[in-house]
Amino acid sequence: MSLKSSFLFTLVLFLTSHLCTAQTDDLDVLYNQIEEHSKALEGLESQVESIKLGGWMDLLIASGLPTQDYVTHSGMALSFDEEKHQARWVAHIISPEIEHGSVARTNDFRDDPKVEGEAIEKDYFLKFLEPDSSYRYDGFGYDRGHLAPSADFRWSKTALSESYFYSNMSPQHPDFNREGWAEMEAVLRGYVLRNEAPLYVVTLPMISAEADYIERGVQQLPIPEEFIKLAVDPENGNGVAFRMPNRPITTGITQYLFSIDDMETYTGLDFFSSLDVAGAEADFDIEDWFPKVSSGGVQPIYPPDLPPGHVNTDQAKLWMGSAKKVHVCGTVVSTRFSSSGNYWMNLDQKFPDTVFSAYIRKDDFPQFDAIFKDYLIDEQVCFYGKVTSMYGVPNMTLEKQEQITPFTP
């Protein structure tokens, strides 16, 4: 290499090194600014959430709670029975903001700092650390069932987390908690989303003097024989109540519908006493809560038309939590890309009346022929896989093209 070439080569290396260093410094400055702005935005969002929660709590208290012996948290008020280690009742408001809520389950079950005598983990199950650092669980046969469900607070990180206080838990039969009770809670959220109106809700575990106990638990929790949930919409003048036995629900939940007046007579309590909702408490219209096929929805595929090993969207809920895989068939009536880039599809009913959904993770897109806007829309298909629960609604994750087949009657 000539002296001139050597000089030019050295100059290029110097300039390249200098430019890279300068660019790195500029990027560091920008990254620091982004982090500062992110923290500032997070602080502002926290303030907004706090103000909203305070407003909803003011409205909840002003509605007239069943008794005066209650404590309040960010998103719920509750009256606690120390002797039974459970709430007498829990009240909260389902806000229309759940439509855009994205806070996931936290599962941070813990003590409620405002009450004494609540349950603990060892009232529901034991866990043992194994040599491989995993845990072995020994359950007592009952779920830690939410009274105010966490999904009702998915717009608020604070309120959703507080819904995992043990004061908001009651022993529920697993099938009841994950199916019938979850379905009923989804009905109320569906109402809120359809009507864009808040629901005032009170939930009660009903425990008689002859109640069975969780004998292996530390405090031997009494097991509620049934649960009651009341809901009223003061804006539209609608109200309803559910009284459901704490056991697997094998029939439609509409048979457990009552008026709020019925449940006031049954419990001896006065609900929503400060609201002008006498008509809503006296009677209910079933179609307000269980609308017929929604606009853009279709009827489930007729079961006799399905091949062996295939189910329709009505039957899919029976497979939630099963280790077995099944073909779920229906019509793709709505699709969307989530904010994180995953692809969602609803069968037979659109959101918020969702009866079955499936999604494809963004990272799995290369495993499919093509993923694009309105992929499979209006087509009758069958999805194959395990059915899981998403806020009480059957859901399936699709990881490869082979899990999707056309349905031919």
96-154 pLDDT, tens digit each: 998 888 888 889 999 999 999 999 999 999 999 999 988 999 999 999 999 999 999 99
Are the beta carbons of 271 and 260 closer than 8 angstroms? Answer: yes
Tell me, yes or no, whether 231 and 349 share the same domain: no
State pTM to two decimals: 0.68
**Which CATH number fits the domain that encloses residue 111?**
3.40.570.10
Answer yes or no: is 36 within a domain. no
- Spatial separation of the C-alpha atoms in residues 208 and 363, rounded to whole Å: 52
Examine the fold and report which residue of 238, 265, 289 is the final residue of a domain before the chain moves on.
289
Do 114 and 242 fall into the same domain? yes
My answer on whether 284 and 307 are in the same domain is: no
**Same domain for 364 and 234:** no
- Domain edge (last residue) among 251, 266, 289: 289
The answer to whether residue 374 sits within a structural domain is yes
Q: Which two tokens stand for residue 183?
A: 């379905």
Q: Please tell me whether residues 154 and 271 are part of one structural domain.
A: yes
Q: Contact 387/328 with Cβ under 8 angstroms?
A: yes
Q: Which amino acid is at 57?
A: M
Q: Phi and psi of 245, rounded to 5°?
A: -70, 145
d(C-alpha 176, C-alpha 225), whole Å: 12
Q: The CATH number of the domain where 325 resides is what?
A: 2.40.50.140
Same-domain pairing of 363 and 279: no
218 and 114 in one domain?
yes
User: Is residue 189 situated within a structural domain?
Assistant: yes
| Terminal C-alpha separation, the chain | 78
Q: Are 78 and 91 in contact (CB under 8 A)?
A: yes
Same domain, 250 and 353: no
Q: pLDDT tens digits for 59-83? A: 999 999 999 999 999 999 999 999 9
**Residue 268 confidence (pLDDT):** 97
Residue 169 and residue 119: Cα distance in Å, rounded? Answer: 8
Query: 353 with 380, same domain?
Result: yes
The residue range of the domain holding 370 is 303-406
My answer on whether 173 and 257 are in the same domain is: yes
- Beta-bridge partners for 118: none
Judge whether 33 lies within some domain. no
DSSP string computed for 359-408? EE-GGGGGGSS---TTTTTT-EEEEEE--EEETTEEEEEE-SGGGEEE--
| Together in a domain, 196 and 272 | yes
The answer to whether residues 178 and 211 belong to one domain is yes
Domain's final residue, options 261, 289, 317: 289
H/E stretch holding 133: none
Question: Per the domain annotation, does 37 fall within a domain?
Answer: no
Q: What is the pLDDT of residue 13?
A: 55
Q: Considering its fold, how many domains does the chain have in total?
A: 2
Whole-number Cα distances in Å, 181 to 21, 44, 150:
60, 36, 13
The answer to whether residue 187 is domain-embedded is: yes
Q: What's the CA gap between 264 and 279, in Å, rounded?
A: 14
Q: Within a domain: residue 15?
A: no
pLDDT tens by residue, 285-313: 988 998 765 556 788 887 778 888 899 99
3-state helix, strand, coil in the chain (%, to 5): 35, 25, 40
Query: Is the residue at 344 inside a domain?
Result: yes
